[in-house]
Amino acid sequence: MLLPVSRLLTESHGPDKALDLRGLALASVGMLGLVWGLVNGNEDGWGSPQIIGSLVTGVASLAAFVAWEARSPQPMLPLRFFRDRAFAAANGASLAMYFGMFGSIFLLSQFFQTAQGYSPLEAGLRVLPWTAMPMVVAPIAGALSDRIGGRPFLAGGLALQAIGLGWIAAVSEADIGYSSLVGPFILSGIGMGMFFAPVANIVLSAVGARDEGKASGASNAIREVGGVFGVAVLASIFARTGGYESPAVGLQRRTRERDVGRRGGRRRGRRDRARHPRQEAGRAGCRARSGRRLASARDVSRGLSPGYVLVGLVRGR
C-alpha cells in the first residue's frame, strides 16, 4: 500500500543546503546543562560546583546559540521569525501549555501509583479523560478556527488548562476519590484540544512558504522544550518538598519534624523573650503585619495566575 503512495509523492527541499552544526551543538549543550542542573539540584545541592557549573554552562551555551543564529548565513532557527507577533505569541503559548501539561501528567501518574497504589496501566487509564479529550475536541476546534481565527481558541484553551490545573491543586489529597478528579481532567482535556488544533496553522501562516520547514521545526522543538522543563522543574519541586513514602508515613514524618521544630523554637523563644522583651513585642507586630500581607498576596496571585497567560497572548496579537 505504501509503494503506490510513494510514487505519487515528490521529495521537497528547503532553500538551505548546509546543516547548522554549530547551532545544533550549542543548543544541545545548553539544554543538557539546564535540564541536568534542574534535575540533580536537590540531590547534589544547589550551591554545589557541579550544579552551578551545569546551569552556567547551559545559560552560556544558549546565549552563544542566540548570538550565532543572529549572524549565521544559514541558521537552523532564524531569529527574524520572532519579530512576527503571531509566531512569537503562538510559540510562547505552546511553551506554557506543554510545561504545565507534561509536568502535571507526569506527577499525576506518580501520584496514582505511589500514593493510591494503582498499577501503571490503571494510572494511565485514569488520566485518559484528560489525554483522550483532544481526540474529540481538536477536529471541532480546527474546523471552527478556520472560520473565526485561531487566537480565541488559543486563549480559551490556555484558560481552561489553567482552570483545570488550579482545580486539581485545590481538591488534591492523598486519599482523594477518583470521581473528584474527572471534572478537572475533562476541563483540561478540552483546553488541550482547543489549543492543539489552530496553533500549527497560526505558526505556519506567520512565515513564507520557503520558511515553513524551519518554522515547523522550531515550533516542534519549543513544544518539546516546554515538556522537558515542565517535568524537570516540577519533579525538582516535588523532590524538594514531597516524597515517595505512603501518606501515613509521610504524615508521621512531617508531624515529627514539626513537633521537634516547635519544641526547639519554643525553647529559643523563651530565652529571647526573657532577654529582650521590648524587641520581642516589636517582632510580634511585624509578624502579624507580614502574615496579613502574605495572605493577601497569595489570594491575589491565585486569581491572576491564569490571567497572565491570557494577557500575554492578547498583547501578541
What radius of gyration do the chain's Cα atoms show?
25
Give the SS3 label for residue 74.
coil
Encode the chain (317 residues) as per-residue pLDDT tens digits: 566 666 666 766 666 667 889 999 999 999 999 999 988 888 888 899 999 999 999 999 999 999 999 998 888 889 999 999 989 999 999 999 999 899 899 889 888 988 888 999 999 999 999 989 999 999 998 888 888 888 889 999 999 999 999 999 899 887 889 999 999 999 999 999 999 888 888 888 888 888 888 898 899 989 989 998 998 888 888 877 766 655 555 556 556 666 666 665 555 555 555 545 544 444 444 344 333 333 333 333 333 333 333 333 333 33
Q: Which three cell numbers stand for residue 286?
A: 511585624
Helix residue spans in the chain (DSSP H): 2-8, 21-44, 49-71, 85-110, 120-126, 128-131, 133-148, 151-171, 179-205, 212-241, 247-275, 277-315
Q: Which residues contact 211 (CB under 8 A, 6 or more apart)?
A: 78, 81
Cβ proximity of 29 and 58 under 8 Å: yes
Nearest to 23 by CA among 83, 67, 88, 81: 67
This model's pTM is above 0.75: no
